[in-house]
A and B are shown apart, each in its own frame.
Chain A
Amino acid sequence: MQIRVEDLSMIYNPGLPYETRALDHISVDIKPGEFVAIIGHTGSGKTTLVQQIAGLLEPTSGRVVAVAEDGTETVISEKGKASFAVRRKVGIVFQYPEYQLFEETVLKDVCFGPKNQGLSEEEQIERAKTALKLVGMDADEIGGESPFELSGGQKRRVAIAGVLAMDPEVLILDEPTAGLDPKGHDDILRMIDRIQDDRNITIILVSHNMDDVAEYADTVLVMNKGSLFMQGDPRYVYCERGRELKSVGLDLPAGPGFLEDLQDLGLDVDIEKLTFDETAEEIIRVVKKKWQ
């Protein structure tokens, strides 16, 4: 399933003195199976955009369309309509998703989505078990426990499983690692990457962590003040147009960021490197030449 965002605008409080243009004529295509990262400052419109894609908010103008493989188009959201039917194909994991857990047991909580989809009880449990397995948890071991008794990292996994259990074709994650320790952070990201490979679903990741984005994303969408500021693969966004990114106050991944600092201090380095090893090689080359 392809997601097509067509000339989407969102204005909060239109006509009032505190009118805010949260999205300003955004158009973008998200291909099936793509790993898309959305970056930008807090308040740049990232969250509004993904909520539109998930069919949770009505836009002021423009629309979001799901295009099936056979070419049929279904509107996800447009003015006056935020679609429930397609929402099932687009799952969204909000920030701090563990705060939405509510059932007595882990298994019941994960079943909530499938139940609302109208599946039979066996199917619900089947889906829940598979989803728990995807997030690295054993339903037999932990399914009967209260979700409120789990550790922070476990709660988050259960919450993600609750969305996966709805079997989405597109999975949106809004800063899924916020507040976790480094190990929890790495675990969740590797898990997302694995789920994408296993299921071949589209991932849309909202993130502030440029190192993660550089490592995992196929495409990066840069939002700035409600507009789509830049779009391309990590190498394009961070290396070729890194200076522009910095000019709007956004960070670069550690490698390119460090190379730019070196360049600013007068070292003649080529800044178009992305990974740690590329960065190291470039520094070694330049520094050795300079010190000879």
Chain B
Amino acid sequence: MDSDLIIQIKNVSYAYLDDGDPTTEEKLALDNVSFDVKRGEFVAIVGSNGSGKSTIAKHMNALLLPTSGSVLVDGMDTKEASETAPWEIRRKVGMVFQNPDNQLVSSVVEDDVAFGPENIGVPSDEIRRRVDEALRLVDMYEHRKKGPHLLSGGQKQRIAIAGVIAMDPECVVFDEPTAMLDPKGRREIMEIIERLHSQGRTVILITHFMEEAAAADRIIVMGNGKLLVDAPPADVFSRDDLGVLNVPFAVSMARKLRENGIDVPADIVTEKKLAEFLCR
């Protein structure tokens, strides 16, 4: 067992349940996918709709189990764990979903954040401490007594993140957390994601937005259930053969500048870095 790996995906294939109709072609949502995630790493997974990126995400905390191959979370096989106590996996790998409305359980913010720790049997005083801490981390402490229906989409999503953080997972998987948010909400969520990463948590971000993926250490590109590329952002964005990508503004600008004789280093993929380079 390699102890600095939190998640190991080994030759995973996944077929959606047979609908009983023999004429239906079995479609593989995942086709022999393998990769590892190191502790403390920030990995982005991108790909168009139906590429399998959400399906692979749900394998990381035993919400889905591979049809063939195996997934190890902190050395535990998700298939074995799901027979006895899948929550042992889920307390290590938390998950934030796309729709901010449909993942909050309680009509009071702080009670919702407490839901996860309550489920894993954390003592009451400790839950209180964790809930307050998690709400402060996402800057929602002052809203703790409110009902979710009075909050904006971005705020609801922050509550969902607090709910996951309160379980103190090693790794958080974000499944398109910003897809339904406005730009302000999107920025807030990305800030929190980067904050979590800087605190040493492993972050896996599934997203459509390349600007968001650019913040990761590594980008995995999925297409038709297959893993197409697994490389650092600069390498991924420099490839022209990946039709699913529309590269971030900073990358196409850097490219344009290079064509015109301004020698922008290849590893610059964010606007912040590009601006710093140009102004130095």
Contacts and interface: CB of A to CB of B under 8 A. Distances in A.
The reply, when asked whether chain A contacts chain B directly with Cβ atoms under 8 A, is yes
Interface of A: 41-43, 151-153, 178-184, 186, 208, 249, 251, 254-255, 258, 261-262, 265-267, 276, 279-280, 283-284, 287-288
Given A151-B50, A181-B48, A183-B244, A251 B275 contact: no
B253 to A, nearest CB: 6
A41 B49 contact: no
Nearest to A152: B49
Contacts of A267: 278-279
Query: What are the 9 A-B residue pairs with the smallest beta carbon separation, nearest first?
Result: A254-B249, A265-B279, A280-B256, A181-B208, A181-B49, A181-B48, A284-B260, A182-B246, A208-B182
B124 to A, nearest CB: 34
B260 to A, nearest CB: 5
B276 A153 contact: no
A179 B175 CA distance: 12
A153 B252 CA distance: 27
Q: Is the interface of A mostly helix, strand, loop or mixed?
A: helix
Given A262-B275, A266-B279, A280-B253, A208 B183 contact: yes
Interface of B: 48-50, 98, 152-153, 179-180, 182-185, 208, 210, 244-246, 249-250, 252-253, 256-257, 260-262, 271, 274-276, 278-279
A251 B184 CA distance: 9
Contact of A280 (B210, B246, B257, B261): B257
B179 A179 contact: yes
Contacts of B184: 41-42, 249
Contacts of B245: 182
A152 B276 CA distance: 40
B50 A279 contact: no
Given A153-B49, A280-B256, 5 more contacts: A183-B48, A258-B250, A258-B274, A284-B260, A284-B262
Nearest to A251: B183
A288 B184 CA distance: 34
Contact of B182 (A42, A153, A261, A276): A42
Contacts of A249: 184
Contacts of A151: 49-50
A43 B262 CA distance: 43
Given A249-B184, A258-B249, A261-B271, A287 B262 contact: yes
A288 B261 contact: yes
A208 to B, nearest CB: 5
A186 B253 CA distance: 20
Nearest to B275: A261
